[in-house]
Amino acid sequence: MSVQHLLFDDLPETERARKPARRSRATTIAAPMAVDVVREAAPDSARPARPSPVLASLPLAPPAPPAPPPPFDPAALSNPELRALVQAIPDQRLAYLLIEAARELKRRALPDRAEDDDSGEAVVEPNPLLLRAARQVVGELSGEDS
């Protein structure tokens, strides 16, 4: 529990003035008080912020959740990581992925030329990087060393 200090808490205490034995008419005059140091109250902006007792008793907000991991990028994997990933895939799924990869490789390496021939536009050259990869796959599957 936090205790809020008052402005005059730091003043030294003096002995209390004793009441005279009999009442006099000068009861409205304040008794003299000894003060060593007088401090001015700092403006609210200069005071360090202290949480109120109500806020101090509330539980702290949970920390922000960690950032989500980046999406999986197979191109960022090293060759040993790729081999381990492929070895972990069951045969049926590997066969499916191989067929889909071959179809995508064919589509990207040899774009459809039927529509380019009729329109008279320049024929798009096959992608040499994908053609080399396709030759390597064919060589691997046929058992030939290239």
Is residue 73 very low, low, confident or very high in pLDDT (cuts 50, 70, 90)? Answer: confident
CA distance 55 to 37: 34
- Three-class DSSP category at 141: helix
- What is the pTM assigned to this prediction? 0.42
DSSP state of 84: H
Residue with tokens 């060593």: 36
Q: According to the model, what pLDDT value does residue 12 have?
A: 64
DSSP state of 110: S
pLDDT digits (tens, 9 = 90+) for 28-38: 666 677 777 66
With helix as H, strand as E and coil as C, how does 35-68 read? CCCCCCCCCCCCCCCCCCHHHHHCCCCCCCCCCC
pLDDT digits (tens, 9 = 90+) for 79-131: 999 899 889 999 999 999 999 998 988 888 877 655 555 555 666 778 888 88
